Amino acid sequence: MARIVDLSHVITPGKAGRKFAIEMVGAETVNPNVVRLEGQWYIMHNVSMVSHIGTHIEAPYHLFKSRADLANIRLEQLMGEAVLLDLRHCLRKSSITARQVEEASAKAGGIRTGDIVFCNLGCARFYGTEEYGTSPYFSPEAIQWLVSRGMKLMGVDASGVEVPGSEDHVNHSALFVRGVPLIENLANLDRLSRTRFTVYAFPIAVEGLEAFPLRVVAVESD
């Protein structure tokens, strides 16, 4: 029997760190044709939020106007075989080198063309605290090495992959110019028992939107 692991953080309104508010309304306020009996629990919600919140995906449109938005990321990029790189030994607030990424890849059995690549930085346990912002970050050489292996989607258990202070967003650019979306704030990577598994990571398809929370699920086959 397959084992399913949820790799997403739960978003709690009022405790999300960024704008995320829900307003409960009766269903009749949305659809005037609805008959809602007195005292009946028949509700809907208005949601007000920033798109980069919780476990979320960033499309190339985030930095490049002519690149794919959420509605135009190919579905094949959002599912398939994934490999987990163990980078928990990397020092916090330090640069992850291409050599470290290459060594982690070798230990995981290598990155194949078309792989989804998830990186365990050991940061998920700090999610929602000040320490979460002290994660290691990827050197441009490390990102370039990963891109050169032919990965189709990248994910990390941290708030990003960027070089601190990079106004050019060098690492995001290196991914997005090659059409590689990025998932930030993954959870529960420590619960995975294998370095290879199947991933499903689908956001809603919205034209003109660059990012959105999503549910990321890993499936470990027998």
Are 72 and 26 found together in one domain?
no
Are 150 and 204 found together in one domain?
yes
Indicate the pLDDT class of residue 173, thresholds 50, 70 and 90. very high
- Got the DSSP string for 175-215? HHTTT--EEESB--GGG---SEEEEEEE----TT--EEE-E
Report DSSP state, residue 8: B
Looking at residues 151-158, what average pLDDT do you find? 98
Asked if residue 13 belongs to a domain, the reply is no
Q: Which residues fall within 8 angstroms of residue 99, CB to CB, at 6 or more apart?
A: none
SS3 84: strand
* Tens digits of residue pLDDT in 72-83: 999 999 999 999
Residue numbers of the domain that contains 169 = 56-220
Are 97 and 191 found together in one domain?
yes
Copy the structure tokens of residue 117.
């690549």
Residue linked to tokens 């939107």: 209
* Tens digits of residue pLDDT in 20-46: 999 999 999 999 999 989 899 999 999
Copy the structure tokens of residue 129.
């605290």
Are 95 and 197 found together in one domain?
yes
pLDDT of residue 217: 98
Name the residue among 115, 128, 191, 127 with its Cα closest to residue 155: 115
What is the rounded CA–CA span in Å between residue 186 and residue 203?
Answer: 14
What is the rounded CA–CA span in Å between residue 92 and residue 76?
Answer: 33
Are 180 and 74 found together in one domain?
yes
Report DSSP state, residue 75: G
Are 182 and 108 found together in one domain?
yes
Are 45 and 154 found together in one domain?
no
Asked if residue 9 belongs to a domain, the reply is no
Domain count for the chain: 2
Q: How far apart are the first and last CA of the chain?
A: 6
Are 206 and 101 found together in one domain?
yes
Asked if residue 105 belongs to a domain, the reply is yes
Asked if residue 25 belongs to a domain, the reply is yes
- Cα-atom radius of gyration of the chain, to the nearest Å? 19
Asked if residue 168 belongs to a domain, the reply is yes
Asked if residue 11 belongs to a domain, the reply is no
Asked if residue 10 belongs to a domain, the reply is no
Are 89 and 184 found together in one domain?
yes
Q: What is the CATH number of the domain that holds 75?
A: 3.50.30.50
Name the residue among 154, 149, 116 with its Cα closest to residue 138: 154
Asked if residue 109 belongs to a domain, the reply is yes
pLDDT of residue 222: 78
pLDDT of residue 1: 80
Are 168 and 63 found together in one domain?
yes
Are 173 and 195 found together in one domain?
yes
pLDDT of residue 183: 98
Are 94 and 76 found together in one domain?
yes
Looking at residues 165-175, what average pLDDT do you find? 96
